[in-house]
Amino acid sequence: MATSLPTTLGALRASEFTSARLGRSVKDELRENLIAKLRTKEPLFPGIVGYQDTVVPQIVNAVLSKHNFILLGLRGQAKSRILRALTTLLDPQCPYVAGSELRDNPYAPLSKYSRDLIAKHGDETPIAWMTPNDRYVEKLATPDVTVADLVGDIDPIKAARSNQDLGSELTMHYGLLPRANRGIFCINEVPDLAGKIQVALFNIMQEGDVQIKGYPVRLALDVAIVFSANPEDYTARGKIVTPLKDRIGSEIRTHYPENINEGIAITQQEAWTKRGDASALKVEVPTYIRQVVEQIAFSAREDKKVDKRSGVSQRLPISTMELVVSNAERRALIHGETVVVPRIGDIYAALPGISGKIELEYEGEMRGADTVIREIIRASVATIFDEYFTGTNTQQIEQWFNLGGTVALTDEFSSVTSQTELQQIQGLFDKLSPLQINSKSKPETAVSAAEFLLEGMYAHKRISRSEERSFSAAEKKQRNNDAANYAEKLREREIDRDDLKNRTRRGFN
């Protein structure tokens, strides 16, 4: 398609890209393409899950209103992804004067460079083309950003080389904002911008132009400006100055997934679990493992020991799932297995990755990150366990442990070995029907399901487990059994003593 596009101004005038079409503003272009998608019911933001009834309608309203807008939300709420997806509302191709730093409209050039070039070459003026991605400019706000970075500055070296006065437009070095002309300009984490830098955005937000270094060069830029930020009470790093907030048309708040299924869909979409590379292993992630991993994020967001202002990013279950699969993959490679099936134990192996995603309150820091995270994992397992085994009677399994039985499930044993060990537990595999496990199930799948059942029983304190993942009788029951055994021995001794006394009396008589 690119080869058939006009390459000169004369050819452009004779094409479908008329001055009327190119005369639309960026916000008009976004609005018209959005209306077309709404009419054909096309997906607006592919890959964005859980916002269909909340965030997306607000963004649609902002675009239809031709507003500059800001997305406010905690980390890991897809703010940057949404803003980058706005490029899907731009035209597939957009022409500009070749060589122009401002990407000038050939029919209405802004810069002196383009005006002079068109005056010199006329219809032979070269034309270049932009894709939607070329029309998106993004800047991460940091405290060291200057006005020159955003708007521009005088370039004395350019002035010297071109023998121009410093006040000439040809000596200007344009910042990111002018270079985003006829496109979308995004500033992420805008509160991190110094207040005086935010002030530099006032003109472009209200009057639609910028002025560089105090010289009488005003550029009427055509740009849609969008922002992202954490809520202002997140940290004391900075805030959005009130006049800038006043100039932002719409303020849209994002949120974390509202239920487990939405979270699972996001994690399944983003996490790298289908390896298919050098290992050549087939990865099968059970549904209950996905649920537990996602529940960890939900439980952490509600835990009083976790900092609510910081939030728990959706990146937590994504990176956790990748680590879970990797630990299961490592175990399969060690034992020469061809199928990778994660277990609950693999979630505990991912603990270092989880700790980097959670910020603790004072109480949590006193208890220690590892302890808090283990408690969260245990609570998450208990929650998901109840969805499958609420009506399951596990007394037979508990009795086996109460009689002194123990079983260890570590990465040192293959799935076949672990399955053989687990078969000693009377009634264990019979209780796995809610997980669709039967006698024909693969050892990897059966062991994973059995460990989930045992871990759930441990989470509900029906049995005990050591840090080395050795399951045994519950501590309380074990103490009761020990007490009962001791009492039985005392009774036996009392009986023996009474019998001895009786025999002694008979002997004397």
Give the pLDDT of residue 471. 94
Assess whether 182 and 314 both reside in one domain: no
Q: Choose the final residue of a domain: 226, 253, 280.
A: 253
Are the C-beta atoms of residues 463 and 454 closer than 8 Å to each other? yes
Assess whether 374 and 243 both reside in one domain: no
What parts of the chain have a pLDDT lower than 50? 1-2, 233-236, 478, 508-509
Assess whether 445 and 395 both reside in one domain: yes
Give the pLDDT of residue 234. 44
Assess whether 43 and 147 both reside in one domain: yes
Give the pLDDT of residue 409. 94
* CA distance linking residue 309 with residue 230, whole number of Å: 10
Q: Say whether pTM exceeds 0.85.
A: no
Assess whether 360 and 443 both reside in one domain: yes
Are the C-beta atoms of residues 285 and 325 closer than 8 Å to each other? yes
Q: Any residues with CB less than 8 A from the CB of 444 and at least 6 apart, and which?
A: 284, 332, 337, 339, 340, 341, 415
Assess whether 272 and 131 both reside in one domain: no
Helix ranges (DSSP H) in 350-474: 351-355, 362-367, 369-389, 395-402, 415-422, 443-459
* CA distance linking residue 412 with residue 415, whole number of Å: 10
- Both ends of the chain: CA-CA distance in Å? 122
In a domain, 75, yes or no: yes
Give the pLDDT of residue 503. 54
Assess whether 248 and 267 both reside in one domain: no
The total number of structural domains in the chain stands at 2
Residue 36 tokens read as 């077309």
In a domain, 179, yes or no: yes
Assess whether 406 and 320 both reside in one domain: yes
Assess whether 218 and 345 both reside in one domain: no
Assess whether 198 and 310 both reside in one domain: no
Express each pLDDT in 2-37 by its tens digit.
458 999 999 999 999 999 889 999 999 999 999 999
Give the pLDDT of residue 78. 93
Assess whether 240 and 144 both reside in one domain: yes
Q: Which domain holds residue 213?
A: 2-253
Assess whether 275 and 239 both reside in one domain: no
In a domain, 478, yes or no: no
